[in-house]
């Protein structure tokens, strides 16, 4: 990933705004036992409006001195003392942040809002930014003392975006808020180190205390309107209905249209929070993204998706090469490599587009791509990853993941157009190996599951249905259920990684859709698959950039509708959207089918 000037601006400026020292030291802050704040949705809008009004009042009256505008409440000892930060996010930046403490929440918000107005006076076009920006409030809650002597990396002991750092300074406490650390990404550890160095210099006693902190956070839905609670800087969704899934898939499709270039390829990978982008490209993921455009066209009938699909296929056609030895075949060559997955997915798209009537049949290319797949399979049934391995008779020691399932599904769909025992034999040979592989490593490959669903339809062999259901049951055991994890935004994800990843959840959904479809055909139990799909749908939809949760994203980059990598990683990649689109459409189709029964 490439560093950008905006990344450094977010890091240095955002951290500087967050690390505000209480002007009147309150050394007892961390030791106080805080009462339950008792704040609810009805309070959020009131407090946010109070903060905005306080900031606007100071901006309007240029003669008013911020500290003179603050009431004497800050001088008083009151029950349930709180520390509050009021921040303004406009144009994807943290524009200013201010603090109020040693008072009730209401008074602290009023004080912090007034100070925010004072800081906006020093910001270019401060009034305009307040008018178009969104106010966010963080109410700081107590944290545990950290043992500095045994900590190498502070971010390793924090729950990113949920826990921040409080550092004792000579005149009070410096706070690095959870989302401040989250939004600067890899820079967070460096910034913590800078503040610790300042704290160490400022004391002649033992090394300053460091404590965890967390906050209750909420933000305006629009400038001056509404309120929504945040967790890890994000909005936790209440539900995921079929309507919600279809809308999310459509928004993701519109995002894909926004990142497709004139030559047919897409912006591959970028981070709108850090403003970084990756100049590399992945031709296999390009083909997979085109497949999701076909899903969208079949689901919506919107010809914009069909046009985008044609453009994406044209890009693949430019990289298609043909050969006549050892047979007549076609392969997709990109960056001096011809990966199996690119050829298989191109055949899958062309076959399904022909079957659905979306595109006319490209018989010659489809036959040549099918021959390419046949060439890539070894006598053992394993597939080579790249063409050079098959031609050079140097197959890899380990068969690649995902590509075999893609080949199986592509040949099964092509076999509907050009029936040939050879295609089924290739699929069956690979299916046996993939089932054995699953029994050995317990890895459920969604492409294999999709292929097994189709293979059962063709053969009616119960072994294929049973294998698909075994894979689905393995997936279910790894899903985070309500009550299993402390963080609500992990629910529905899978424990393959920590935090759970969007793409992993979406691909497992694709496999579960296949398992549900098979259960529906065979009369096997299926409700547990649907419940898992609904949980996973809610999880991945929370990782989609929407107007309510994208206050930190750079508006100069296309992000609305894109799915970011995880709850703590805001990288967008075209195949995250690909898998989410197919998973959400597949799940909504199940729900719709049940509604009709």
Residues 6+ away with beta carbon under 8 Å from 477: none
How far apart are the C-alpha atoms of 344 and 286, rounded to whole Å?
A: 12
> Which uninterrupted H or E stretch holds 560?
none
Cα 69 to Cα 591: distance, rounded to the nearest angstrom: 57
Determine if the pTM surpasses 0.85. Answer: yes
Report how far residue 49's alpha carbon sits from residue 54's, in angstroms, rounded to the nearest whole number: 8
Contact, 89 vs 95, CB < 8 A?
yes
Instruction: Determine the Cα–Cα distance for residues 250 and 256; give it in Å rounded to an integer.
Output: 10
Structure tokens at 378: 């070894």
| Cβ–Cβ < 8 Å for 227, 218 | yes
Report how far residue 293's alpha carbon sits from residue 306's, in angstroms, rounded to the nearest whole number: 7
Cβ count within 10 A of residue 298: 16
Cβ-count burial 24-57 (b if 16+ within 10 Å, e if not): eeeeebbeeeeeeeebeeeebbebbbbbbebbbe
Asked if 472 and 510 count as a contact pair (C-beta separation under 8 A), the reply is no
Question: Contact 44/228 with Cβ under 8 angstroms?
Answer: yes
Q: Residue 82 forms beta bridges with which residues? A: 103
Determine contact, residues 472/529, Cβ cutoff 8 Å.
Answer: yes
CA R_g for the chain: 28
Rounded Cα–Cα distance for residues 4 and 277 (Å): 9
Q: How far is CA 99 from CA 55, 104, 154, 175, 270, in A?
A: 12, 13, 24, 10, 33
Q: Give CA–CA dist 190/104, Å, rounded.
A: 33
3 state DSSP class of 76: coil
Cα torsion 230, 233, 238, 244 to 10°: value is: 140
Residues 245, 302 contacting (CB under 8 angstroms)? no
Give the integer Cα–Cα distance in Å for 73 and 422.
83
Per-residue pLDDT of the chain (597 residues; tens, 9 = 90+): 334 434 444 444 444 444 443 333 333 333 333 334 578 888 999 999 999 999 999 898 777 666 655 654 444 444 557 899 999 999 999 999 999 987 889 999 999 999 999 999 988 999 999 999 999 999 998 788 898 878 889 999 999 999 999 998 888 889 999 999 999 999 999 999 998 888 888 665 567 889 999 999 999 999 999 999 999 999 999 999 999 999 999 999 999 999 999 999 999 999 999 999 999 999 999 999 999 999 999 999 999 999 999 999 999 999 999 999 899 999 999 999 999 999 999 999 999 999 999 999 999 999 999 999 999 999 999 999 999 999 987 877 889 999 999 999 999 999 999 999 999 999 999 999 999 999 999 999 999 999 999 999 999 999 999 999 999 999 999 999 998 888 999 999 998 788 999 999 999 999 999 999 999 999 999 999 999 999 999 999 999 999 999 999 999 999 999 999 999 999 999 999 999 999 999 999 999 999 998
Q: Is 357 left (phi over 0), alpha (psi -120 to 50) or beta?
A: left
Asked if the peptide bond before residue 326 counts as cis, ω within 30 degrees of 0, the response is yes
SS3 44: helix
Number of H helices, E strands in the chain: 20, 13
Kindly report the three-state secondary structure assignment for every residue of 225-261.
ECCEEEECCECCCCCCCHHHHHHHHHHHHHHHHHHEC
Q: Which two tokens stand for residue 596?
A: 């009709």
Helix (H, G, I), strand (E, B) or coil at 56: helix
Q: Give the three-state DSSP class for 31.
A: coil
Residue 418 main-chain phi, psi, to 5 deg: -135, 75
Residue 311 · residue 260 · CB < 8 Å: yes
d(Cα 422, Cα 435) in Å, to the nearest integer? Answer: 20
237: left (phi over 0), alpha (psi -120 to 50) or beta: beta
Closest Cα to residue 540, out of 586, 574, 507, 511?
A: 507
Distance of CA 11 to the CA centre of its chain: 21
* pLDDT recorded at residue 109: 94
Contact 40, 99 (CB under 8 A): no
Distance CA 192, CA 577 (A): 34
Neighbour-count burial of 309, counting CB atoms closer than 10 A to its CB (0-12 exposed, 13-18 middle, 19+ buried): buried
Beta-bridge mates of residue 166: 175, 211
Beta-ladder partners of 136: 87, 219
Instruction: Give CA 469 to chain center in angstroms.
Output: 27
Determine contact, residues 139/208, Cβ cutoff 8 Å: no
């Amino acid at each position: 990933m490439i560093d950008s000037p905006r990344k450094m601006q977010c890091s240095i400026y955002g951290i500087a705004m967050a690390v505000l020292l209480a002007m009147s030291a309150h050394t007892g802050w961390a030791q106080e036992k805080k009462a339950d704040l008792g704040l609810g949705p009805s309070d959020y809008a009131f407090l946010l409006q109070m903060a905005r009004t306080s900031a606007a009042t100071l901006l309007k009256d240029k003669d008013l001195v911020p500290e003179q505008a603050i009431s004497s409440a800050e001088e008083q000892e009151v029950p349930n003392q709180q520390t509050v930060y009021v921040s303004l996010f406009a144009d994807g930046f943290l524009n200013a942040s201010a603090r109020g403490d040693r008072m009730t929440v209401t008074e602290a918000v009023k004080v912090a809002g007034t100070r925010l107005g004072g800081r906006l006076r020093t910001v270019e076009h401060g009034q305009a930014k307040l008018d178009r920006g969104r106010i966010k409030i963080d109410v700081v809650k107590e944290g545990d003392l950290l043992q500095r002597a045994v900590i190498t990396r502070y971010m390793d002991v924090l729950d990113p975006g949920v826990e921040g750092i409080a550092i004792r300074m000579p005149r009070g406490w410096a706070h690095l808020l959870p989302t401040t650390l989250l939004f600067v990404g890899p820079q967070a550890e460096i910034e913590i180190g800078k503040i610790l160095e300042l704290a160490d210099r400022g004391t002649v006693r033992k090394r300053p205390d460091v404590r965890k902190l967390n906050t209750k956070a909420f933000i305006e839905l629009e400038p001056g309107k509404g309120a929504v609670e945040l967790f890890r800087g994000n909005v936790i969704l209440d539900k995921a209905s079929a309507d919600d899934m279809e809308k999310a898939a459509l928004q993701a499709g519109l995002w894909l249209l926004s990142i497709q270039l004139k030559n047919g390829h897409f912006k591959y990978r970028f981070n709108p929070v850090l403003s970084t982008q990756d100049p590399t490209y992945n031709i296999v993921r390009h083909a997979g993204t085109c497949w999701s455009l076909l899903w969208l066209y079949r689901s919506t009938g919107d010809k914009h998706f069909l046009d985008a699909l044609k453009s994406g296929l044209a890009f693949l056609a430019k990289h298609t090469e043909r050969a006549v030895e050892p047979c007549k075949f076609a392969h997709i060559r990109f960056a001096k490599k011809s990966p199996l997955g690119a050829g298989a997915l191109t055949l899958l798209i062309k076959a399904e587009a022909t079957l659905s009537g979306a595109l006319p049949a490209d018989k010659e290319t489809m036959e040549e791509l099918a021959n390419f797949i046949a060439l890539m399979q070894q006598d053992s049934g394993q597939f080579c990853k790249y063409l050079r391995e098959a031609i050079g008779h140097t197959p890899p020691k380990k068969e690649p993941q995902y590509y075999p399932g893609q080949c199986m599904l592509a040949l099964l769909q092509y076999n509907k157009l050009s029936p040939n025992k050879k295609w089924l034999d290739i699929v069956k040979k690979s299916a046996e190996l993939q089932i054995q592989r699953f029994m050995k490593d317990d890895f459920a490959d969604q492409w294999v599951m999709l292929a097994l669903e189709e293979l059962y339809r063709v053969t009616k062999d119960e072994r294929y249905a049973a294998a698909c259901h075994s894979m689905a049951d393995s997936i279910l055991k790894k899903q985070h259920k309500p009550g299993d994890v402390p963080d609500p935004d992990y629910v529905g994800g899978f424990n393959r990684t920590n935090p759970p990843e969007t793409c992993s959840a979406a691909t497992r959904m694709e496999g579960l859709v296949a398992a549900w479809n098979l259960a529906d055909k065979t009369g096997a139990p299926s409700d547990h698959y649907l419940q898992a799909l609904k949980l996973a749908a809610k999880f991945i939809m929370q990782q989609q950039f929407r107007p309510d949760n994208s206050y930190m994203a750079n508006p100069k980059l296309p992000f609305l509708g894109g799915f970011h990598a995880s709850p703590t990683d805001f990288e967008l990649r075209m195949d995250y959207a690909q898998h989410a689109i197919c998973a959400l459409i597949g799940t909504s189709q199940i729900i719709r089918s049940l509604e009709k029964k």
